[in-house]
Amino acid sequence: MRVQVHEGGEFSCEVTGFHGYEQQILGLRNANRDEPETLEYLAWRYRRSADSPEPQVFWLLSPDRQRVGMASVVFRPYWSNNTRVQTAVVGDISLDTRWRGRGLGQVLLRFMTEYLDAHFPRQPAFVIPTEAARRALSKVGWVTSGTLVPYVYVLDPTRYVRALVRSGWLATRIARRMRAVERIVTRLRATRVGSLHLKDTLDESLLEFARRLPPPGGAVRELGPESLNWRYGQHPHTRFTFARFARSGETRGLLIFEDSTLEQTWSIYDLAAKTPADLSTMLTLFVQRAQSAPDLVTLRVTLDERHPCRTHLRTLGFIARRPDTVFQVHSHSGIAERLAWCVTQGDKDT
């Protein structure tokens, strides 16, 4: 594919694999990100499962054959209407700053979309884009399937009260009373049945629970042992904590969170339970555990606006903030656009 750019010459697009292009991917990616990454991170990011197609990297080449833009696709297992499907997850969309504002990003993403339609017609495609990428993708056939909503639980309201009350002493007393009431309400919601256990590693009981999770309806990322180990157990930077909810000795729920990305915050990435009642109890116990953690201010979980967990979160006192991003989908057959997608923070490979 070639395109003529006014005062720029002829640009072209090509597709390659990942191996052998690591340094070029890293260089272009880091030149367009605030925080640089490493080859170790790329090796993790582009790791494929045993039954998935090879990762695909789409390049925009300048007239002098320099790689000035890129987008990549890594295939991840999702459940689609109870069928396991390798889904094309798009990421690392980058364009050299010198060539922005000329429609070249749209050219690259159109090439990528047409290539996926031709070579992977049965694979749905998914992306959590930046705003610039969202606009370009929407012009080449991608559909915005939903928004991602942050839900926040305030454990320590002191700084929020101080914004309303001039007296620091009074604000502290009010916040202390609010925390006391909050603990009482949570304790009343908690049942005596079940317990929550936190670990730094994925143990066999959690992997077995994940292995036995029934296929959900709609479209949702697979939470099997291989996916969990890769996404959370082997992440090169972030250390996750794994909460196991058990009742009568049986594992009935899983919750994964980390505390390093946002200051004084536990961020939930994924959660699953055997029944809605198990999910509600697990979340209540998690809030109780957080209330006793020192220096913790908020809990945060990001979900799509139709996620089944959102009702349980609101009941517990989580507050829905304004959506901060969207997700887009595409498929040659149109099936991805018709699916109800269930998305969490864990769907973003970062």
Alpha helices (runs of H) in the chain, residue ranges in sequence order: 22-31, 39-45, 104-119, 131-138, 158-162, 168-189, 204-211, 225-228, 276-291, 310-316, 335-338
* Residues 198 and 308 occupy one common structural domain: yes
* Residues 154 and 133 occupy one common structural domain: no
* Residues 224 and 340 occupy one common structural domain: yes
Contact 55, 73 (CB under 8 A): yes
Q: Which helix (H) or strand (E) holds 255?
A: strand 250-258
* Strand partners of residue 316: none
Q: Over the stretch 254-304, which tens digit does the pLDDT of each residue have?
A: 999 999 888 899 999 999 999 999 999 999 999 999 988 988 999 999 999
Q: Over the stretch 116-160, which tens digit does the pLDDT of each residue have?
A: 999 999 999 999 999 999 999 999 999 999 999 999 999 876 666
* Residues 216 and 319 occupy one common structural domain: yes
The CATH number that applies at residue 237 is: 3.40.630.30
How many angstroms separate the CA atoms of 159 and 308, rounded?
A: 31
Q: Describe the crossing of helices 131-138 and 104-119 by its angle, rounded to 10 degrees.
A: 60
Q: Over the stretch 10-53, which tens digit does the pLDDT of each residue have?
A: 889 999 999 999 999 999 999 988 889 999 999 999 999 889 99
* Residues 130 and 182 occupy one common structural domain: no
Q: Over the stretch 163-201, which tens digit does the pLDDT of each residue have?
A: 666 666 666 666 566 665 666 666 666 666 789 999 999
> What's the domain range around 208?
149-347
Contact 347, 220 (CB under 8 A): no
Amino acid 5: pLDDT: 44
In order, the DSSP letters of 107-172 are HHHHHHHHHHHHH-TT--EEE---HHHHHHHHTTT-EEEEEEEEEEEES--HHHHHTT-S-HHHHH
Amino acid 162: pLDDT: 63
How many angstroms separate the CA atoms of 298 and 287, rounded?
A: 10
* Residues 189 and 275 occupy one common structural domain: yes
- Asked if residue 343 has pLDDT above 90, the reply is yes
* Residues 208 and 128 occupy one common structural domain: no
- Asked if residue 234 has pLDDT above 60, the reply is yes
* Residues 18 and 164 occupy one common structural domain: no
Residue 314, token pair as written in the block: 């609101």
Please give the tally of structural domains in the chain: 2
Distance of CA 158 to the CA centre of its chain: 30
Residue 251: closest CA among 190, 202, 295, 300? 202
Q: Describe the crossing of helices 276-291 and 168-189 by its angle, rounded to 10 degrees.
A: 150
* Residues 137 and 58 occupy one common structural domain: yes
Of 141, 162, 189, which marks where a domain is finished? Answer: 141
Query: Count of CB atoms within 10 A of residue 96's CB?
Result: 17
* Residues 245 and 316 occupy one common structural domain: yes
Close Cβ partners of 300 (under 8 Å, ≥ 6 residues apart): 150, 151, 152, 153, 262, 265, 266, 267, 268
Contact 9, 26 (CB under 8 A): no
- Rounded to the nearest integer, the mean pLDDT of the chain is 89
By CB neighbour count within 10 A (0-12 exposed, 13-18 middle, 19+ buried), where does 45 fall? Answer: buried
How many angstroms separate the CA atoms of 349 and 184, rounded?
A: 38
Of 141, 166, 197, which marks where a domain is finished? Answer: 141
Of 83, 113, 141, which marks where a domain is finished? Answer: 141
* Residues 43 and 7 occupy one common structural domain: yes
Choice among 57-66, 75-84, 96-105 with the minimum mean pLDDT: 96-105
* Residues 163 and 104 occupy one common structural domain: no
Contact 161, 174 (CB under 8 A): yes
